[in-house]
Structure 1
Amino acid sequence: MKIYPIEAGNFKLDGGAMFGVVPKSLWTRTNPADGNNMIDIAARCMLIEDGDRLILIDTGMGNKQSEKFFGYYYRWGDHNLDDSLKKAGFHRDDVTDVFMTHLHFDHCGGSVQWNKDRTGYEPAFKNAKFWSNEDHWQWATQPNRREKASFLKENILPMQESGQLHFVEKPASDYAKTSALDFGIFFADGHTDKQMIPHIQYKGKTLVFMADLLPTAGHLPLPFVMGYDTRPLLTLPEKEKFLNAAADNNYYLWLEHDAHNQIITVKHTEKGVRLDQTYTFNELFN
């Protein structure tokens, strides 16, 4: 097995929305804001080369939305999905599986693209199976009004219409190992229903792809919960359970949205689980 970081593009989000009820004077210590109160956000995906399979975890925003849409998110930097795949030695047609932690636009938008004459949409990975889970799919395709703006039909329905959509097994508990992709998944419901957090065994370490359970290193304190979470009081025990396990078992946490910290470890302290070490992928594995 070999793993590659795939940088799908950087953008900005409102710092207050990213930290909910936490005062700005606290969260700016770790996530400084610009003059518009926006903080730096990454879309750091993961590519897993395992035998004859090439598995991509999340795909970023993509590039098919309007300039008006992207204007809300202040994209910055030069990262994009295709160049990052090329740097790793691959093309999107090589991808055999696309695993989506959840179907919010900034995690799955790159899974679907315009068709050739821009009259409709098609999967951006023509040879891939797209993986979600049945409960989350229903949640995303019949969205509540609060989340509706994050579940865009053009990002989601073409996967099913193409016949490329697949579901992982329904979990019996909040943690299960999927036989389809051969890694463990922690299922969390606080941010959105049945978000999937993959646990990958790699070179003697447990790498955990954090998605929106822990967006940035600045979100480690338990009350630092995003305003975007649909059930923040459920996020708290889910986050506490996971972070205790991460500290106990020395998990390496892959931060999808932290533009400045790729991978972190955590430790127990008198104040609860806090940051231990920060790493780049190359420092750990090259």
Structure 2
Amino acid sequence: MRLYPVEAGNFKLDGGAMFGVVPKSLWNRTNPADSNNMIDIAARCLLIEEGDRLTLIDTGMGDKQSDKFFSYYYQWGDDSIDKSLKKHGFHRDDITDVFMTHLHFDHCGGSIKWNKDRTGYEPAFKNARFWSNKDHWEWATNPNAREKASFLKENILPMQESGQLEFIERTAQNSFQKDSELGFGVLFVDGHTDKQMIPHIDYKGKKLVFMADLLPTVGHIPLPYVMGYDTRPLLTLPEKKKFLETAADENFYLFMEHDAHNEVITLKHTEKGVRLDEIYTFDEIFN
């Protein structure tokens, strides 16, 4: 097995929305805002090469939305999935599986693209199976009013229409389950959105956990620092507490999808609760 970070592109989000009820005077210390109150956000995906299988975890926003849509998110830098895959010697047609932690547009938008004449949409990874889970799929395709703007039909329905959609079955409650089909474990969490899936991968004697939106940035480590985007913040709290304590106990390496400036971190127990221990680049730990 080999792992590769894949940078799908950076953007900005409103700092207040990212930290909910936490005052700016506190979160601005770790996630400094610009003059528009926007903070730096990454879309850092992960590529798993194992045998003849090449699995991509999440795909970022993609590029098919309108200029008006992208104007809300202040994209910056020149990273893209194609550039990042090429850097590692791959092409999107090599991808055999796309695993989506959840179906919010900044996690799955890159899975679907315009067709050749821009009359409709098609999978951006033509040889891949797209993995979600049935409960989350139902949640996303029949969205509540609060999340509707995050679940865009053009990002989601073409996966099913193409016949490339697959579902992972949930077999463990409130703990990691080993998924034999994809070869890595999955933790289901429901605070951010219903049945978000958090992958964990045994690699080179270490456990790497892809954090998705359970822990968006290093600044979100303290328990009350919960995103305003979370649909069930009072459920996020115990889910996050349990995970952070386990991560500190077992020395998990946390792969930060949305932290634009910190790739991989570890945690430790302190008198104030679980806190940041070390920050690493991916290559420092795994290459």
Aligned to 2:243: 242
Aligned to 1:38: 38
Q: What displacement does 1:171 show?
A: 3.0
Aligned to 1:192: 193
Aligned to 1:136: 136
Aligned to 2:98: 98
Within 5 Å, give how 1:68-83 maps onto structure 2: 68-83=68-83
Aligned to 2:216: 215
Distance in 2 (alpha carbons) for counterparts of 1:257 and 1:173:
26
TM-score (structure 1 length as normaliser)? 0.99
Superposition misfits of 4+ residues, deviation over 4 angstroms: none
Within 5 Å, give how 1:41-52 maps onto structure 2: 41-52=41-52
SS at match of 1:143: coil
Give the residue type in structure 2 aligned to 1:96.
Answer: T
Deviation readout 1:7-39 (Å, 9 max, x if unpaired)? 000000000000000000000110000000000
Distance in 1 (alpha carbons) for counterparts of 2:100 and 2:106:
11
SS at match of 2:154: helix
Aligned to 1:58: 58
SS at match of 1:267: strand
1:179 and 2:180 correspond: yes
Distance in 2 (alpha carbons) for counterparts of 1:70 and 1:81:
17
Aligned to 2:166: 166
Give the residue type in structure 1 aligned to 2:259.
Answer: D
Gaps of 5+ in 1: none
RMSD: 0.5
Aligned to 2:256: 255
Q: What displacement does 1:141 show?
A: 0.2
TM-score (structure 2 length as normaliser)? 0.99
- Residue correspondences, number: 286
Give the residue type in structure 2 aligned to 1:16.
Answer: G
Q: What displacement does 1:197 show?
A: 0.2
Distance in 1 (alpha carbons) for counterparts of 2:140 and 2:248:
32
SS at match of 1:79: coil
1:231 and 2:232 correspond: yes
Aligned to 2:27: 27
Answer yes or no: is the 8 Å Cα contact 1:134–1:170 preserved in 2.
no
Distance in 2 (alpha carbons) for counterparts of 1:25 and 1:129:
44
Gaps of 5+ in 2: none
